[in-house]
Structure 1
């Protein structure tokens, strides 16, 4: 399971006539955990991150989703509250679909219902991966694990080298691995000094996937 889902399985035509088109700037909070579940969001462009908040305001990252993905659907069939918070990691364009209309639309089509189950299962698997990472690994291992996932999902491979085609910042990466931006920057600098990765603008080139996998696969079997 990838903790950073850049492109989902849904098509926008399904919901264009069902909801309201909205644009939000980076940092906008779409909903907070334990708030009434009023809407489901279909992402047309940009990325949205899901996270939990402690009573003291500390964030715990869950996953990131991008275009053609849903967010907010996980509790739509059970309780009437959001199980997590969601905020825009970039400028985003979404279709906001009222809860009842989303339910009616999905119930009317077996294929859409199957899509909904896949979407929720994907997020459930992400939570299991996050539990494993946060419980049993160090920051270096978490960063390398996510880099491997990004490379395998969004990479262009030439021999053993892989260019990760989506740009991301150290802040975004730190939110994914549950650490500070400074700590993630130090890990990335160390990987560059070792010749494992190099930076090209906001994107990264992995010089040896085999070498990177050897540092992560034995522990996580990814």
Structure 2
């Protein structure tokens, strides 16, 4: 799973009559780790980030989800607690679905059970990727890894380069890579000074995606040989 999923594949129409449409402002917490599970959220607009929270209040980012994605489903069959925290990265609109109706919809809709399993598996994979990145990569490598993922998933060809076609802030990127906004800004400035990327309005252009990905993945993978 990419650590940043801007567009999911869940159909809101399946859940509208069983859920409640809600609006939340940026920074609003949807649920906390270990909180008793009550609802699943289908994101209509905006972005939601998932993270772990230490007893001292330190955050460890997991992934970002955008529109037509679900969050909070990981323990829907056990009815236990949420395994992570979730908060609005931007202003968001969601459908909040109680877990019991969600289970009934999944059971009664062909193919939906497999999609839930796929969604949970993707989130587990994101956790493993984050564990590797935080354990074996420095801040520069983590930023380049995420930029390469965004370019691969949301890139548009522009000349010899690839334009990442979704806007994002350094603050959002810093949450994904588990560092400060200042550190991420310094890395982005360094990449621009080296001629690897440039900024066009609110989007970033990677000048040579093949060279960029090779540098990123070679550094990342060499630590696991």
| Shorter-normalised TM range | over 0.9
Corresponding residue number in structure 2 for 1:116: 116
Q: Which stretches of structure 1, 4 residues or more, deviate above 3 A after TM superposition?
A: none
Shift of 1:22: 0.5
Q: CA deviation at 1:79?
A: 4.6
Q: Give 3-state SS (helix, strand or coil) of 2:111's partner.
A: helix
Structure 2 partner of 1:23: 23
After superposition, what is the alpha-carbon deviation per residue over 1:74-106, rounded to whole angstroms, capped at 9, x for unaligned? Answer: 111125111000000011000000011111111
Inter-partner Cα distance in structure 1 for 2:200 and 2:70 = 30
How well do the aligned residues superpose, as a CA RMSD in angstroms?
1.1
Q: Spell out, residue by residue over 1:157-179, the C-alpha distance to the aligned partner (whole angstroms, 9 max, x if none).
A: 13530111111000100000011
Corresponding position of 2:216: 216
Q: Distance in 1 between matches of 2:14 and 2:3?
A: 25
CA contact (8 A) 1:44 1:95 kept: yes
Where does 1:38-49 land on structure 2 (aligned, <5 Å)?
38-49=38-49
Distance across 1 between alignment mates of 2:187 and 2:158: 24
Equivalent residues of 1:46, 1:67 under 8 A apart: yes
Task: Spell out, residue by residue over 1:38-69, the C-alpha distance to the aligned partner (whole angstroms, 9 max, x if none).
Answer: 00000001000000111110100000001110
TM-score (norm 1): 0.97
TM-score (norm 2): 0.95
Following the alignment from structure 1 to structure 2, what is the Cα–Cα distance between the partners of residues 103 and 181?
A: 39
| Partner residue in 1 for 2:174 | 174
- Which runs of 5 or more structure 2 residues have no equivalent in the other structure? none
Q: How many residues align?
A: 221
**Cα distance in structure 1, aligned partners of 2:49 and 2:201:** 23
SS of the counterpart of 2:189? helix
Segments of 5+ residues of structure 1 without an aligned counterpart are: none
